[in-house]
């Protein structure tokens, strides 16, 4: 299973707008991805309610994971989005 550990780059954490940006990006990734707090249970990264339910704060470490083919590239892009607090999914890493 491929995984990326990153710190949330949005000051407000994964709430409201940042969570929406992340969920759209996870859905567009084309592979199933999970997200979890470093010490928590993974949830579906494409589910707005699940992502909001994490309560991930700015600066907090999260774990993105997937065992699908092509997961490495998708996780790299999502990790960049989260760690840099970007407004949209980067075209390339």
Task: Give catalytic residues, as residue numbers.
Answer: 15
**14-51 as b/e: b if 16+ CB within 10 A:** bbeebbebbbebbeebebebbbbbeeeebbbbbeeebb
């Amino acid at each position: 299973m491929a995984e990326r550990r990153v710190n949330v780059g949005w000051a407000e954490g994964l709430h409201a707008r940042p969570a929406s940006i992340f969920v759209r990006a996870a859905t567009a990734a084309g592979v199933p991805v999970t997200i979890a707090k470093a010490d928590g249970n993974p949830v579906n990264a494409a589910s707005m309610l699940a992502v909001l339910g994490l309560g991930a704060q700015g600066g907090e470490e999260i774990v993105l994971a997937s065992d699908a083919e092509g997961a490495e590239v998708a996780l790299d892009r999502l990790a960049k989005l989260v760690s840099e607090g970007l407004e949209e999914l980067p075209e390339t890493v």
